[in-house]
Structure formats: structure tokens, C-alpha cells
Amino acid sequence: MMSKGLWACILPASLLLGISLLHLGLGAARIGPAEIIRAFFAYDATNYAHVVVVFQRLTRLVVALYAGAALGLAGLLLQKIMQNGLVSPSTLGINAGATTFVVLAVQFLGLGGAALFLPALAGGMVAILLTFAVTGVLAGQGDGRLNLVLAGSMVGTLFSALTTFVISLDPEAFGNLLGWLIGDIGNFDYRALAPMAPIGLVALMGAILLSRAVDILALGSEQAAVLGVNVRLVYVGTLLIAVMLTVSAVTVVGPIGFVGLVMPHIARLLVGETGPMPLWICVAGGASLLVGADILARLLLAPRVLNVGTVMGLSGGLVFIGLIMVAAKRGRI
């Protein structure tokens, strides 16, 4: 009989594989598994199904896998170091800050593609620092966990307003970015994802190396220090990794929410909070979640394709309201 840990490894991997195959097969044109296999191993440029699989759906799949995995892992890291089940890249304002700096870089520096990662990283860091500053102002007033989310919402709203203002200065210049601003994986060349992949890999390795120290932090700063953990280094390092993961995804697909909020809760339900297994659950689960959302985006109004950010936004809004209600009732998530 397989152990719980082994099941926790196999089930997410099986789900990820299955939903990836569904993604390649489902859409305005249904393509069977046999034809999908032939598209990869016996590609025929005159076969419409092969062209759709390789040059349309595979592109979306690769982008969705990366972005979903990055956002899921980022959400877990943020919730663990802040001991707050309501935080995520979107609720802390990181997504909004990265988006604003990308828009500024496009408008005033003429940057594009992977070069937007550095402005996005700067925006994400500025946003999280502002969120901490506002939280400090709110200290001692009400629930500290909700204050953090409130501060993040305020900062996110500020950056969103700034983004809208910059776009209003020259709307035509941002025509190609409108889908990205909502959250889009359909118009991205997956070959441009290559510069982001090393960032994601380094961040994942860092998260694994710090996972034990992050678990010890849950005991409290003083207890962690007694056990030999460099509290400040672990906290800052984990925060930086989470922001890097977030902005690498935002650079690729735009400000998509919900993934980083809900995946840590699913991981806790399945395998608990400690050890490396929650990392794997959030990576595989986040990727599966965004791939599934893209399937819905292509099927709900087929042949019209929705932005995946719209699908995730509707789902995430409802879940976030539910989490807020639970937090207000119990005082914790």
C-alpha cells in the first residue's frame, strides 16, 4: 500500500499530465490523443490538426505551465513567511506594482519582451515595501493579518490607478498590451520564455534550500534564532524569491491572480504545512490550475477565446471573499 507521501507525489503529476493532454486536444477543433502524438513524432505541415497542436496549443500550454507553477509557489512562500492565509502576490500589491513599472518601461524606455523583467522586479519590490510601510502605520489597529491585506489592497489600487493614467496618455501605444494587462497567454511566443526559465529554476532551488528554515520560522522569530536560523536572512531571501517568481510570471502573462492565493490552502489540506511536499503541490497544482483555466477560456464562448485572466479573476474574487469571511469569523485561516 502506497504511503501518503507517495500519493502526494503521484496524484499531482498525474493531474498535470492529464490536464496538459486535455489542453492540447480541446478547443474549437477537437483533436484526439493519437493525432496529438503524431503531431509531435510525425509532424505534417499540411495537416491542420498538427499545426494547431504545435504552433497554437503547445505555445499556450508551455506558458500556462510556467506561469501557474511560479505563481503557486510564490503564494506558498508568502503565506508561510507571513503566517497569513490571505496573502498572495495579488493581495500584497506585487502584481499591480510590477504591471505599473512594465507599462512605464514600455512607454518611456521602449523596452519589450524579457527585458521587462527588471522593471517588473523593481515594481514588485517597491509595491511590497510600500505594503509593509502602510501596515506599520496601521499597527495596533484591528487584526494585523487583515491590516496587511488591507495595506496590500491600498497599494494595489494606487498602482492600478497609475497604470491607467500612463496608458491614458497614449492609448494607441499600448494596443498590443491590452490583453496582457488583463492576463493573457495566447499572444506570447513561448521561445521568449527561455530567459525566464533559469530565473524560475534558481528560485525553485532557493525555495527548496530554505524550506526547512522557513518551517522553523513558524515557531516564532526568537525560537527560530535559538535553533540557529538567521531570521532576517531567511525572511528577506524567501521574500525576494517569491517576488522574483511573481514578476517572472507577470512579465510573461500579465497580472493573473487567484493561483497564488488558493494553492497554498490546497497544499495544506493535502500534505500539511511542513517539508518540501507543499512546494511540489503548489508547483504542480498551480500549473494545472492555470492550464485548466485556459481550457475554460477557450471553451466557454468558443470559437471566441477569453483572456485567462478574466476566468481566474472571477474565480479568485469569489474565493477571496470567502477567505475574508472565514478570517473575520475565526481570526485566522
Q: What are phi and psi of 90, to 5 degrees?
A: -80, -40
Cβ proximity of 61 and 213 under 8 Å: no
The reported pLDDT for the residue numbered 41 is 92
pLDDT in tens, 33-88: 899 999 999 998 999 999 999 988 998 899 999 999 999 999 999 999 999 988 99
At 257 the pLDDT is 86
Which residue reads 505551465 in cell numbers?
65
Q: What per-residue confidence (pLDDT) applies to 145?
A: 82
Instruction: Retrieve residue 114's grid coordinates.
Output: 524579457
Is 333's pLDDT higher than 60? no
Provide the pLDDT for residue 126: 98
pLDDT tens digit string along 232-256?
Answer: 999 999 999 999 999 999 999 999 9
The residue-averaged pLDDT of 25-39 equals 89
Task: Give the pLDDT band (50/70/90) at residue 324.
Answer: low
Residue 11: predicted pLDDT: 84
Q: How many CA atoms lie within 13 A of 57 on its CB side?
A: 27
For residue 181, what is its C-alpha cell? 494587462
| Confidence category of residue 190, pLDDT binned at 50, 70, 90 | low
What three-state secondary structure class fits 151? helix
Report residue 26 as a C-alpha cell.
Answer: 480541446
Q: Which three cell numbers stand for residue 93?
A: 500589491
Q: Could you tell me if 283 and 68 are in contact, meaning their C-beta atoms sit under 8 angstroms apart? A: no
Closest C-alpha among 235, 253, 314 to residue 70: 253
Name every residue whose Cβ is closer than 8 Å to that of residue 77 and which is 6 or more positions away in sequence: 207, 214, 238, 239, 241, 242, 245
pLDDT, tens digit, for every residue of 257-291? Answer: 889 999 999 888 888 888 888 999 999 999 999 99
Report d(CA 142, CA 228) in Å as an integer: 33
Q: What angle do CA 89, 91, 93 make, to 5 degrees?
A: 70
Task: Output the pLDDT for position 243.
Answer: 97
* Nearest of 19, 5, 96 to residue 285 by alpha carbon: 19
Q: Which domains does the chain have, with CATH numbers?
A: 30-321 (1.10.3470.10)
- Cα–Cα dist 253/297, whole Å: 14
pLDDT of 2 > 60? The answer is: no
In this prediction, residue 87 carries a pLDDT of: 94
**Percent of the chain whose predicted confidence (pLDDT) is above 90:** 52
Instruction: Read off the pTM.
Output: 0.91
